[in-house]
Amino acid sequence: MDIGQALLEAVPFNRTLGIEVVGVTPNAVELRLPLRPELANHVGTMHAAAQYALGEAASGALNFLIFGAQLAQLLPLNKQAQIEYRRPSHGSLIARGELGDEAIQMVRNAFAREGRAKYSTAVALYDESDLTTVVTVVTVEWVILKRPE
């Protein structure tokens, strides 16, 4: 199963929102959320809650990069999040989340050593029409636990 399929099956809400997987590398994920009327706010831009959901989904997808197939036996929980809205987004959004090799290994090592891991990651959101200007940053702190039997 690819990461896109796994992401949509693990979190049906992402499918409901219409989140799409644009790209996956061993260290990064890129997701897209098309702007549709039902996701807009009162001024016609992407609603703040939809922006958060996209950022959280991209952050959560990084768990697949860290743990791969093992994630099916684990319980990733969003412990806390911080959202920084920098400018309005007038179109569809692209979310980019990335972890370096060292960060991935640190999380894996912590989990192997303690049976749980905690890490934070920031995801940048861009208006699809300008992939150089960050419109929102979503930082999520994850706690990864063993799934109760």
> 89 falls in which pLDDT band (50, 70, 90)?
confident
Q: Per residue in 49-71, pLDDT tens?
A: 999 999 999 999 999 999 988 98
Closest CA to 85 of 93, 73, 75: 93
**Mean pLDDT, residues 27-46:** 95
**Mean pLDDT, residues 32-42:** 96
Q: Quick one: pLDDT at residue 69?
A: 85
Closest CA to 76 of 2, 1, 146: 146
**Mean pLDDT, residues 129-138:** 96
Domains, the chain, with CATH or none:
3-146 (3.10.129.10)
> What would the two tokens of residue 57 be?
């989904």
Q: Tell me which amino acid residue 42 is.
A: H
pTM of the model: 0.93
Residue 148: pLDDT above 80? Answer: yes
1 with 12: CB under 8 angstroms? no
Q: Per residue in 102-128, pLDDT tens?
A: 999 999 999 999 999 999 999 999 999
Q: What is 5-56 written as a DSSP string?
A: HHHHHH-HHHHHHT-EEEEE-SSEEEEEE---GGGB-TTSSBPHHHHHHHHH
28 with 97: CB under 8 angstroms? yes
Whole-number mean pLDDT of the chain? 93
Residue 4: pLDDT above 70? Answer: no
